[in-house]
Homo-oligomer: A and B are copies of this chain.
């Protein structure tokens, strides 16, 4: 018989209350490791974070703990498989974090976590170490108080989510034996505006590329050569400007071909979300919101594909003036994708179009830095329903169902590669500054989230097994 607790779980609550101070120290220790996956110089730190996590999983009482080689940063695996009659749940999160620049905009040191009121500030506090840590504490609490988990659980914590999960698919494909499961719970999403509990039912995919425009071998004097040669930086600006029309539509031929049109009900559900556009604009501090003609702000940021420059650089960027024609110019450009756009096909269309519109007199090339598929799940799936019950039981209100603008490529990996239903259950506040300076986590979300994750296992006991 499954080890299912009556709700609320008083023993778990008492245990969590008693261990709160130690838990915060453990959370901080995890946050101190600067596991920035996109920067090669931080490879050792990523390994250190993986080893720290493996130690914590072992200490929680989980089994088969493994820091698994992937060819890139390791996957940390652990399981608990002693509920033969219950379903098996994969829990996914990532221990790597975004880079921290611009460092001067942080009010604290990114990898020295501090608590200010109900907030803990550090890179990764929310995305995604905070969520991993809450899962760790849920498992430790259940095993400490019940000596068992209500379902079988396999933990898969990746170290390359912030750098396009380049090695994960191959690892998943090569480890199907230890990934047999009935559902995947992905905890890398968050709550809705106003910190309202939410389950994400769709995610955008991503295509990330770099455009390199090369002119001469060295910078030229802009007086001696200006007017006679193409300027790589001007050419790059022309390419980027050519990618979008004044209506915000992306001009790449075929770009929208695979976009699944939303039903009237989908549009209505989006329109029904509590969203104060004036407050949103004020919080961003912008003069206006700008996007694709014919769509609302919620639609633009969630169900429409995008094209954004993530970085651009060329020539002299120091103080003062330098009169050169830069030898080369570069931009990182990414598109957020929606179902059923394919990142590889979008990259090819992007490359072709950049080559078509690239001005003469310089050499423009495009290279692929990574991609991930968009994903859609169903509100009616029993696993989504179980997650909703867990949120309502612990946070005290039924979740909203939202469509998230971000990308978690691994969703597509779990659904298409392993054939699993995927539920996105995350507990971070919506304004957590993930990917920006001063990232923070709401400690009330974190504490209640531990209970949510534990309760979710209870709610999944009756999940139909595949």
Contact = CB atoms under 8 A, between A and B. Distances in A.
A436 B220 contact: yes
Interface string A10-49: 0000000000000000000000000000111000000000
Residue of A229, A297, A314 with most partner-chain B CB within 10 A:
A229
A223 interface: yes
A84 interface: no
A218 B437 contact: yes
Interface in A198-249: 204, 206, 208, 215-231, 233-234, 236-238, 240-242, 244
A323 B435 contact: yes
A436 B221 contact: yes
A274 interface: no
Contacts of A242: 241
A324 interface: yes
A6 interface: no
B309 A234 contact: yes
A219 B435 CA distance: 8
A361 B223 contact: no
A313 B329 CA distance: 10
Contacts of A237: 236-238, 240-241, 309, 312
B315 A332 contact: yes
A187 interface: no
Given A223-B204, A286-B361, A287-B361, A317 B313 contact: yes
A98 to B, nearest CB: 6
Interface in A317-332: 317-327, 329-332
Closest 9 CB pairs of A and B: A223-B406, A290-B361, A38-B320, A241-B241, A233-B309, A237-B240, A311-B315, A227-B300, A311-B316
A441 to B, nearest CB: 15
Contacts of A208: 321, 323
Interface residues of A, number: 101
A227 B312 contact: no
Contacts of A362: 286-287
22 contacts: A38-B320, A39-B318, A39-B320, A99-B316, A101-B318, A162-B323, A219-B437, A220-B284, A223-B406, A226-B301, A227-B301, A230-B290, A233-B240, A233-B308, A234-B241, A237-B237, A241-B242, A287-B360, A288-B361, A290-B359, A309-B326, A310-B321
Contacts of A230: 286, 288, 290
A341 interface: no
Given A286-B230, A334-B222, A315 B309 contact: yes
Interface of A: 38-40, 98-99, 101-102, 105, 162-164, 204, 206, 208, 215-231, 233-234, 236-238, 240-242, 244, 284-292, 297, 300-302, 304-327, 329-332, 334, 336, 359-363, 369-370, 404-407, 430, 433-438
A308 B222 contact: yes
A291 B321 contact: no
A395 B407 CA distance: 68
A434 to B, nearest CB: 6
Contacts of A360: 287-288, 290
Contacts of A244: 234
A436 B163 CA distance: 35
Contacts of A332: 315-317, 321-322
Contacts of A322: 38, 98-99, 162, 310-311, 332, 435
A306 B222 contact: yes
Given A406-B221, A436-B219, A231 B309 contact: yes
A223 to B, nearest CB: 3
Contacts of A316: 99, 101, 310-311, 332
A330 to B, nearest CB: 8
B227 A304 contact: yes
A40 B306 CA distance: 41
B310 A315 contact: yes
Nearest to A204: B223
A315 B317 CA distance: 13
